[in-house]
Structure 1
Amino acid sequence: MINKSITRLLILSLSATFYCLGTISTVSAQNSFSKIKISGTLNVFEKDSIVLTYRSCKLPLGESAYLPYNQKTVAISDEGGFEFELPDTSLVYFNLSYKAKDGNIKEILNSYIAEPNDNVDMLIQNVDLNGTANNTIFAQNISFSGEGIQKYKYQYLLNKNQNDNEIKWELKKNLVVKNTIEAELERTISFANTLDDSSNSLSLNYESLISNEAYQLIKFNLFAKKMNIIYKHLNIFTERINSLNDTNKRKFMNFYQTRIKSNIAIPQDVLANSAFYPSFLLRQFLFEGRTINGRSLLDQIYEISNDKLRERVLTEYILNYYTHLDDQETIASNAIKKMNDPQYIQLLKELIKNQSFGTKVVDFMLVDENSKEVKLSQFLGKVVFIDFWYTGCSGCTLYYQDLLSKVEKDFQDNKKIVFISVSIDRDKEKWLKSIKDGKYTSPHAVNLYTNGLGSNHAILKQLAVYSYPRPIVIDKQGKLYNNSRTDLRISAVRLSQILSDAINKN
């Protein structure tokens, strides 16, 4: 076990992106046509609009999966008021953000769960810890009233607790430094435990005030969230682990079995509805396939005994790994034949349709650093290379510095190709600074960003962009030419050849 805190997994981590908990069949009949109302007052000097993005609770496919979402935007009244009404009749997750007049978006609430019959009103202050009023939104200065508020108070306090724990962890993280895999993983485990450290009494206070169905999913989603953090690091260490001698490898495997590998009992119906459990399983399968059993992800997925869980994990695998697969369409088509859930089947059919080579790419419009609108259709007749990235993405930095920047130089005088760089940064100033820094892109590229919508822009859905960096090649007719990781991310030589072939194609 990780440590005793796993036995008190009582909260749901509030992640960057938002996910659905899964349809809860036990929602009472009287709630079947209930709406969700979310309103509030935002005390800022500059009034503009509030953006609410939400998903129904049918498709909890993990932390980076490509899923449908709904978005509503309302103007803030002169008094600072706003109101949303959601038609959903099941649990939903929502994000709430403030959109300023300059287009910048400030997130207020992230991945909050709402249920039918919720009628919640919130007061969002602009007073900092010193009592000074200004035009900055402080997400930790919110009060709630109305129906269902205990759930919101609970999530709000849990988020604050997690933030406080992370600050404490940062202060002490370097006190003990040992150059061993086990020591590094112990630090990772320690960080993962910041999700719920010191939250036991808080959870006990709110457990009886929250539905049992939501409580169970919250508990095991947190468990899976923590395990995701740990298995991310484990997969970084696979090469080092495999290079250990027999004695040290046995020692590490003992550490893995006793400190990481979990045998915690989780009800199958909860597993099938968990938002984070499928992504945890995929990372576990990947690690164990590389270091223990030598088996492929797909083989391990097909051995999951629970039908609903297997379909969910299989769908997430294909959505997230599609551009990594050598035989994309065959694997997805075979999976569809073995599925029963119509929504998973539809998701995979749409993926095949949108990601098949020769598919017409939707004509999108984004803005450049001068706020000038740029459309994809402007470049018809040229090969278009697009790279999606975000500030802080280490893989994006490595990709640009080690590979893409060299390829751009090879084609810098070629008028038959254009390089487009698309950032999903929500903060425009952060994006502009990253352009100047030159770590992710060049001022010579066509630099665009997703208009403050981050990863929620419609073009990301159409192109199935759910991990970064994400390079795509579009041919002269505006059709998808190549999106393969093997072709576009492995070497500058291979990428240059793909682009040359696209340029020379009639």
Structure 2
Amino acid sequence: MFINTDAFAQTWPNLPAKISGKIINGLNSNDSIVVNINEDNPKWSYKKKIVPINADGFFQILLDTIHQPSAIRMVIKGRNYMIFEREIEPGDSLFLEIDAVVSNPANKYSGYMPKYSGNNVGKYRCDDSIAIFRQGWDNQRKNLYNQFVACRYSDEYYTKLYEFLQTGYGKVIMILDNFKGQLSPAMYEYLKARYIAFYVPWSSTLRSEYSQTNNLDNKARIIKNFGRYQPSKLVVSPDIAGYDTFFLGHLFSHIQVETWFEYDGKKYSFKLIYEKLKSRYSGFLRERLLAYFLYWPGNMLYVENYDPADFAACLADAKSITKDPWLKKVLAQKTFLKSGTAAYPFALPDTSGKIVKLADLKGKVILLDLWGLGCSGCAQFYQLFEKEIQPHLANEPNFKFVSLNADNSTERWTTGIKSGKYTNDHHINLYLEGKGVKHPFAKFYSIVSAPFIILIDKQGNLITKIELGLSGAELLKTIKTALIAQ
């Protein structure tokens, strides 16, 4: 699947990127731009800055710390009018012409794409062309499903489906090749890897197929076809492909689904996936995959028998074999959340204004859940808690659920409580005082996104960080183990 190359030893140049532009229509006197930057795609380094707009409509944003393609979202503050959402790579110098007339309702994002110019804009032109192709590709894929609805689980169906995915990827590469002269060599390889994840989703497609049938013959045929067809003819550079989160997810999904099929849809151990990733890949790509697995929410989907000690052992092993300085920092950040270390000694207001301290809860096992209004992952976790955990602990006096809100206004906090999607009045509801990720609590844990969930023991020490994807049964077992401990 990979080619080895020395041509990309330096990958992207160690240069700052710059975005400048002008609001050519719809400028208000108090406008500024909120810039959200994911300097590394798995949100290992998330930053936010406010950029002023001059009276003549001009603005400039300097990005002097990015080291790879980074996701940028730009919104006019107060209007939630999104003006740009793309990736920018080191060395880019981009100029935007923005029409900011808001004809849509408040708090809605625009679908308007500004005029862009500058160096390395070929990647945007390529993306625009691929988006047009994607519309037809999606329709063709639906037609394929409809054509084989009567024999959906047949070998012929899976052969046609695999050929369709391979052919679609080939057409996408033809489009990409048309823009090759407008792309940096590294960006060309980067996009080639990304499009594999988008257009050859073989593993995730068959997992979905497997989940939708209870027929044992159908399940067996899906597993057989999963093994028959592998994207072995796809050629990418591992040193470049490892930078793209979607490609990392593509490789991770393949191993996850492969293991799931080996266990006939039953759960498996966390450490098994880690060992497969470690043994199957090498070099920089392996380092990125291991960091992705250990850091990314959802990596515990289908895992059973989760033991925080297993996670700690895998994390220590990943640290010992990682050479990339950036990834070393990422793993060091995870190491900081080590079992047995003292939890942050918070002292925060509840809904009545009373200050609640961690010290007040000594002797209790605490599940602390940081959330924000509108966060789908936050709502997902809370619904799991209410359905699969709370009923078993409702009469347990030594267990407390602490709900911690990270929004920038008390109105959003109270709205979230009243909605019942993230917490309710029966829990301990605390507030980060409108400071969000700038609050000492968030800085202590290097929090960049919600939900952030940790389990704290009776002595006020960290037991483990809880990731989305961990089953309710496994989390409940971990909590009950902590309740038994002295």
User: TM-score scaled by structure 2?
Assistant: 0.70
Specify the alignment match of 1:309 in structure 2.
285
CA–CA distance in 1 between the matches of 2:325 and 2:478?
37
Specify the alignment match of 2:257 in structure 1.
287
Match of 1:219 among 169, 192, 214: 192
RMSD of aligned residue pairs (Cα, Å)? 5.4
Specify the alignment match of 2:96 in structure 1.
121
Say yes or no: does 1:381 pair with 2:360.
yes
* CA shift for structure 1 position 410: 3.1
Specify the alignment match of 1:344 in structure 2.
327
Specify the alignment match of 2:239 in structure 1.
269
CA contact (8 A) 2:120 2:182 kept: no
Percent sequence identity over aligned pairs? 18
In structure 1, give the amino acid aligned to 2:249. Answer: S
CA–CA distance in 1 between the matches of 2:107 and 2:43?
34
Q: In the TM superposition, what whole-angstrom CA distance separates every residue of 1:436-464 from its partner, at most 9, and x where no partner exists?
A: 45344324445578999999999678658
Q: Please give the secondary structure, in 2, of the residue aligned with 1:387.
A: strand
Specify the alignment match of 1:208 in structure 2.
181
CA–CA distance in 1 between the matches of 2:378 and 2:160?
21
Number of aligned positions between the proteins: 457
In structure 1, give the amino acid aligned to 2:261. Answer: T
* Structure 2: gaps (5+ residues): 2-7
Q: Please give the secondary structure, in 2, of the residue aligned with 1:385.
A: strand
* CA shift for structure 1 position 118: 1.1
In structure 2, the CA distance between the partners of 1:457 and 1:497, relative to structure 1 (3 Å rule), is same
Q: In the TM superposition, what whole-angstrom CA distance separates every residue of 1:123-142 from its partner, at most 9, and x where no partner exists?
A: 143355xxx89885523342
In structure 1, give the amino acid aligned to 2:360. Answer: G
Q: Please give the secondary structure, in 2, of the residue aligned with 1:347.
A: helix
* CA shift for structure 1 position 291: 2.0
Say yes or no: does 1:54 pair with 2:37.
yes
CA contact (8 A) 2:368 2:453 kept: yes
Say yes or no: does 1:70 pair with 2:47.
yes
In structure 2, the CA distance between the partners of 1:470 and 1:350, relative to structure 1 (3 Å rule), is closer
* CA shift for structure 1 position 420: 0.5
Q: In the TM superposition, what whole-angstrom CA distance separates every residue of 1:91-134 from its partner, at most 9, and x where no partner exists?
A: 43132232544xx8554433412330413233143355xxx898
CA–CA distance in 2 between the matches of 1:283 and 1:497?
31
In structure 2, the CA distance between the partners of 1:494 and 1:268, relative to structure 1 (3 Å rule), is closer
Q: Please give the secondary structure, in 1, of the residue aligned with 2:191.
A: helix
Match of 2:376 among 388, 391, 402: 391
Specify the alignment match of 1:145 in structure 2.
117
Match of 2:216 among 226, 244, 249: 244
Specify the alignment match of 2:420 in structure 1.
438
CA–CA distance in 2 between the matches of 1:150 and 1:125?
24
CA contact (8 A) 1:91 1:114 kept: yes
CA contact (8 A) 1:51 1:97 kept: yes
Specify the alignment match of 1:327 in structure 2.
310
Say yes or no: does 1:92 pair with 2:69.
yes
Q: Please give the secondary structure, in 1, of the residue aligned with 2:117.
A: strand
In structure 2, the CA distance between the partners of 1:39 and 1:463, relative to structure 1 (3 Å rule), is same
In structure 2, give the amino acid aligned to 1:396. Answer: F
CA–CA distance in 2 between the matches of 1:467 and 1:233?
28
CA–CA distance in 2 between the matches of 1:461 and 1:358?
16
In structure 2, the CA distance between the partners of 1:50 and 1:157, relative to structure 1 (3 Å rule), is farther
In structure 2, the CA distance between the partners of 1:462 and 1:146, relative to structure 1 (3 Å rule), is same
* Structure 1: gaps (5+ residues): 2-22
CA contact (8 A) 2:400 2:428 kept: no
Q: Please give the secondary structure, in 1, of the residue aligned with 2:388.
A: helix
Q: In the TM superposition, what whole-angstrom CA distance separates every residue of 1:415-446 from its partner, at most 9, and x where no partner exists?
A: 9845305589x999998776545344324445
**RCO (CA 8 Å, sep 6+): is it higher in 1 or 2?**
1
CA–CA distance in 1 between the matches of 2:435 and 2:313?
33
CA–CA distance in 2 between the matches of 1:107 and 1:409?
43
Q: Please give the secondary structure, in 1, of the residue aligned with 2:236.
A: coil
CA–CA distance in 2 between the matches of 1:374 and 1:53?
33
CA–CA distance in 1 between the matches of 2:125 and 2:59?
19
